[in-house]
A and B are shown apart, each in its own frame.
Chain A
Amino acid sequence: MLTVRVIPCLDVKDGRVVKGVNFVDLRDAGDPVEQAKVYDAAGADELCFLDITASHEKRGILLDVVRRTAEQCFMPLTVGGGVRTLDDIRQLLLAGADKVSINTAAVENPDFVREAAEKFGSQCIVVAVDAKSVDPGDGSDKDGADKDDAPRFEIFTHGGRKATGLDAVAWAKRLCDLGAGEILLTSMDRDGTKQGYDLPLTRAIADAVPVPVIASGGVGTLDHLAAGVRDGHASAVLAASIFHFGTHSIAEAKAAMAAEGLPVRPVS
């Protein structure tokens, strides 16, 4: 049986980990490669690097990080942040990334997703979907525009500041039609809150698309991970701070999910 993937995510800026683990025994705790090795040994199922370097000129630094990681970690690696052109994707894949995550560029130019999937195959094209609740579906929407008053979510860019008018479910379905192989779904309402994934959002998207959905944004406890799969219907769970700050280990995350009856790959 396929297991639920537990994916730690590292924020990387100028080749250094911004939000990362406080492992005392690391020679260089700011080096993403050192942290990747720790997660590799800890039994993480995939790794995700999110590059938040502002300047495109410093792209070479990220590529070097990816290259060094791929030399030492024989596990799947997804890299996102600033992926805007086919050449960006090619360079990341050649450096050793297995998948790239496209974010803003998909909203600005949906055809880019199609071109990327045709060129490199859907299996390596992850599209990051950042959504916010715009109608909780609790009857509070009184303007009559929303007849059934179902919950509604909208796509936001620029860290949740810029509304796009795109309905999240319709958008996710369109991305799959364009060739996205996986959806990395982040709730902008929950991100950083430690209140748990936005389960209605996760379920709405996961039930609507044929491809795997990675739940992201808001994990504060181990219970939240299991809920993302059991109630959110996600195929994989991504988290940052609960792992980085040493609150919980990958093994604890998997044990908690196994206790909920979810299939996980045992940590060897």
Chain B
Amino acid sequence: MSQGADWNVPSRRMGAPPEPARRESASLADILERVLDKGIVIAGDIQINLLDIELLTIKIRLLIASVDRAKEMGIDWWEHDPTLSSGARDVLDENERLRRRVGELESGRDAEREPERERGGEDGS
């Protein structure tokens, strides 16, 4: 294949408003949805559950988690409606945060209270 040179350089948008002035060769969103594992676990010896972390505060997590969940409920359309989206995102976000906090409290793993024991259990990596 002789495509190496123009590998995903052109991104054509028909009839669209002009792109932002300095456009990278491929959009970050396009790259991330391809190079990141689809939200579950990064493969290999090091495993990170992307859904566990506040990935990019909200951006990617919304991209890979909430949209999927919302779509299952058939309500994805508000995702991109500027008049509606921010409130709905905040609710989803808050929801997620609260659920995690409740989980932490219920499992009694309060890192602040017993930092020594937490650390003592690991083999010092």
A binds B: no
Interface residues of B (CB under 8 A from A): none
Interface residues of A (CB under 8 A from B): none
